[in-house]
Amino acid sequence: ENVDKQAINAILEFNPKKLYDMIYHQNLTMCGPGPITVMLIACETLGAKKAELLKYATSGDISGMYDQVVGYASLIVSK
């Protein structure tokens, strides 16, 4: 969960380099790292100024088993 929060913060900060470094140098596992990185660059280029975390949850929140979980985050990017 701590690693998830670091990745989410990189997205909220519009910091694709930080996110890339986490993925490729700290072995962060996440779905769609390439598209997320490109999205950050494109949104910033198009004038987006803020990102907001709408919801974060883990599979453990549903199953009640927290020994191994998958994290899910929904974020919105806007001008």
Task: Output the pTM of the full model.
Answer: 0.86
User: Which of 57, 50, 44 is CA-nearest to residue 76?
Assistant: 50
Instruction: Say which amino acid occupies 45.
Output: T
Q: Which residue has the tokens 């199953």?
A: 63
What does the DSSP 8-state code read for residue 49?
A: -
Judge whether residue 3 has pLDDT over 90: no
Over residues 5-32, the pLDDT tens digits come to: 999 999 999 999 999 999 888 888 899 9
pLDDT score recorded for residue 1? 66
Over residues 50-76, the pLDDT tens digits come to: 999 999 999 999 999 999 999 999 999
